[in-house]
Amino acid sequence: MSFVTILLFFVYTYCLGFAVSSFVKNSENFLERNLMRIGFGLSLLPFLGLILNLFNVPIDWKIILALSLAYPIYYLIKNKPVPKFAFKLTKTDLSILAMLVIFLINLYIYASGAFAYPYLEDDDSWSHAVGSKFVAIEKTVFASVGNRFHYIDPYPPTYDLLMGLLHQTNDSIYWTLKFFNALIISLSTIFFYFFVKEFTGSRNKALFAAFALLSIPAFMSHFIWALSLTVPLYFVVFYALEMIKHDRRWWIVAALSMVTVLTSSPTHSTYFGLILILYLATKVILERKILVWHIVSGAVGLALSLVFWWIPMILSYGIDGTLTGLGFSFADVKEAGLGGALQGTGDRIYTFPDFFMAQKQNMINNPIGIGIALSILAIIGIIFIILNYKTLLKKENHWAIITLVLFLFTLYAVNAARFPVKLSPFRAWMLLAIPVCILAAEGAFNIAKISKNSAGTIGMFGILIILVLGVYFTSTQQKIAVNTASWPPGAFWTSGEEIGAYVWVKQNLPTNSNVFTFSNNGPVIGMDMYACHWCKDDSDYMNKGFNQTAEENYNWLKSKGYEYLIIDGQAARKFGADNLNTKVQELGQSGLFKPVFQNQGALIFKV
């Protein structure tokens, strides 16, 4: 663990958040004001990297640190603020402290689960390791046409940009991805709490909603992918949009915070746009006026994302090339619309038990399910909203109608596999979880109010304890079980022995040793070794080098500084088992390569 990198993460984010929010009317609560600055800074940090990248300035941690500190230092020098030590603990502070306990529990679950096994999980994480390593070393996200990266250039790069930046101050891409992925997802608790508090006007609903978000299986796992950054920032943006009612200049904060959301994930950047449109349209109808600053915020955020990423990609790759880099083609879109273009690998038709019954065995990238207690509370919340329909047009209750609109939209999105228009339905579960948690909080709030009226304060707390226990046993336990289980390492591996060989590499070779493979650089880099995946000579040699003599291999590897050579099951699949056996014998008999590890999955030579 690198405490320096963790400290720098909070310095970057807090200082950038302080800078962007210093000119608007902030919350009067000290904790809310300063915790949300981390969210604004987290939104701005990758955007700052995109700006530097476009102007060919290295995405270097020292430059980022200097830029982050610039305004706070200027502010301190100019204003010379005198610290105030008056301390008064309010009910709001107690609610926030309780929320922070939920955040810490969330972080413990995600982080302990992420480190429960000695490898990265599934396929996406290995690709993110390669992309993040490239950013860390080359300090750019422009990989040029013909690059060999899955998740940068033209794919929206801000997740790998952030992880690559953080990796510059420690020696482990493995730890960087696992820890900061878990941390950013856990920060959702903080951002969601303050958004719901501002959205509904109730700290009690916000606290229960935060607990529901911790508990609901459908909202995020510790899976390493770009959505881990995209979705937590939804709450940051919508918090800023809600704050416009206090100070219209918040539109600037919201617009700047949108850029990373719009440049991190094709599916959920798109979903963000759709949710934003529904949110604004519903508010406009309810308030019977054009919300100029909300609309300007969305337009400016979109324009900035186009200028600093999407237009440069289209100019480099063309529209069809950019779409191909995102995983689909213009022909697919033209022929089948969103239904044929953006289907997810886990899409299927869901039934009632999928929603109502949370399971301890689930998908790892986007688990499904809500759970019995949360489902019932959400239904009760909807019933109370409908029963109070006469008061819904009051401005303070507009949030309820907006939540219902978003609930219906995300419910359709999850069930869209049966319809022609869809956008990766299984990935929409995490979005459905958001209005469900707010509705569940509304249900719990009304039940508590009835209990207080009939049985007093003690009765109310008794009912709340029962509700919390109900959620725990029907949702929280199941979510914990999924997120602390041992997850598979990916579908590309040929055997458990091959995985074991790479685990041996991580545990026994010096970190960032130069390791060459003829098959796949993802496991090499993901296990904290180094291979120049983006170097043309190296990538070419992965194909042609296999057919050269042992002496030629030795000379080339020495010239490039490689210290170890791995011959694994993936190489056998690529070149054929017979050819691989011949190659291994040749290398061993040459005297130029010394075997240091061997099992049924791989043979590792020291050059």
Side by side, the strands of the sheet bearing 515-517 are 515-517, 564-568, 602-606, 594-598
In this structure, what token pair is assigned to residue 34?
Answer: 């300063």
Residues 372 and 242 in one domain: yes
Residue identified by tokens 């902030």 is 26
Name the β-bridge partners of 516: 565
Using the predicted structure, report yes or no on whether residue 606 has a pLDDT greater than 80: yes
Distance CA 562, CA 242 (A): 54
Residues 471 and 508 in one domain: no
Distance CA 411, CA 419 (A): 13
Q: Which of 483, 509, 530 is the last residue of a domain?
A: 483
Distance CA 195, CA 188 (A): 10
Name the β-bridge partners of 602: 568
Q: Which residue in 244, 233, 254, 239 sits closest to 199, CA to CA?
A: 239
Distance CA 245, CA 289 (A): 13
Q: Which residue has the higher pLDDT, 102 or 337?
A: 102
pLDDT classification of 339: cutoffs 50, 70, 90:
very low
358 within domain boundaries: yes
Task: Indicate the helix (H) or strand (E) that contains 597.
Answer: strand 594-598
Contact 232, 210 (CB under 8 A): no
Domain count, the chain: 2
Using the predicted structure, report yes or no on whether residue 275 has a pLDDT greater than 90: yes
Residues 471 and 511 in one domain: no
Residues 421 and 535 in one domain: no
Cα dihedral 87, 89, 93, 97, rounded to 10, equals 90
Q: Which of 483, 509, 537 is the last residue of a domain?
A: 483
Least confident of 181-195, 207-221, 317-331: 317-331
Q: What is the pLDDT of residue 88?
A: 82
Pinpoint the alpha helices (H) of 115-172: 124-138, 158-167
What percentage of the chain has pLDDT greater than the value 90? 85
Q: Which domain holds residue 236?
A: 3-483
Cα dihedral 347, 353, 358, 364, rounded to 10, equals -20
Cα dihedral sign, 422-424-429-430: negative
Q: What is the pLDDT of residue 335?
A: 45
Cα angle 272-273-278, degrees, rounded to a multiple of 5: 95
99 within domain boundaries: yes
Residues 294 and 150 in one domain: yes
Name the β-bridge partners of 604: 566, 597
Instruction: Give the type of residue at 457.
Output: T
Q: Which residue has the higher pLDDT, 425 or 438?
A: 438
Contact 50, 259 (CB under 8 A): yes
Q: Environment class of residue 545 by beta-carbon count within 10 Å: exposed (0-12), middle (13-18) or buried (19+)?
A: middle
Per-residue pLDDT tens over the stretch 71-125: 999 999 998 877 776 678 899 999 999 999 999 999 999 999 999 999 999 999 9
pLDDT classification of 328: cutoffs 50, 70, 90:
low
491 within domain boundaries: no
Neighbours of 508 (CB within 10 A): 11
Using the predicted structure, report yes or no on whether residue 279 has a pLDDT greater than 90: yes
Residues 456 and 541 in one domain: no
Cα dihedral 60, 63, 64, 69, rounded to 10, equals 160
489 within domain boundaries: no
Per-residue DSSP letters for 557-578?
A: HHHHT--EEEEEHHHHHHH-HH
Residues 167 and 262 in one domain: yes
550 within domain boundaries: yes
Residues 407 and 500 in one domain: no
Using the predicted structure, report yes or no on whether residue 139 has a pLDDT greater than 90: yes
Residues 417 and 537 in one domain: no
Residues 587 and 469 in one domain: no
Q: Which residue has the higher pLDDT, 337 or 301?
A: 301
Residues 583 and 478 in one domain: no
In this structure, what token pair is assigned to residue 593?
Answer: 């390569």
Instruction: Give the type of residue at 554.
Output: Y
Mean pLDDT across 153-177: 96
In this structure, what token pair is assigned to residue 273?
Answer: 């746009």
Contact 157, 134 (CB under 8 A): no
Q: What is the pLDDT of residue 85?
A: 67
488 within domain boundaries: no
Residues 479 and 500 in one domain: no
Residue identified by tokens 């997850």 is 487
With a threshold of 0.85, does the pTM exceed it? yes
Contacts of 94 (CB under 8 A, 6+ apart): none
Return the exposure string of 62-89: e unless at least 16 CB atoms fall within 10 Å of the residue's CB, then b: eebeebbeeebeeeeeeeeeeeeeeeee
Q: Which of 483, 516, 545 is the last residue of a domain?
A: 483
Neighbours of 4 (CB within 10 A): 10
Contact 428, 362 (CB under 8 A): no
Count of positions (residues) in the chain: 607
Q: Alpha carbon of 379 to those of 27, 384, 444, 446: distances in Å?
A: 32, 9, 11, 12
Per-residue pLDDT tens over the stretch 453-502: 888 889 899 999 999 999 999 999 999 999 999 999 999 999 999 999 99
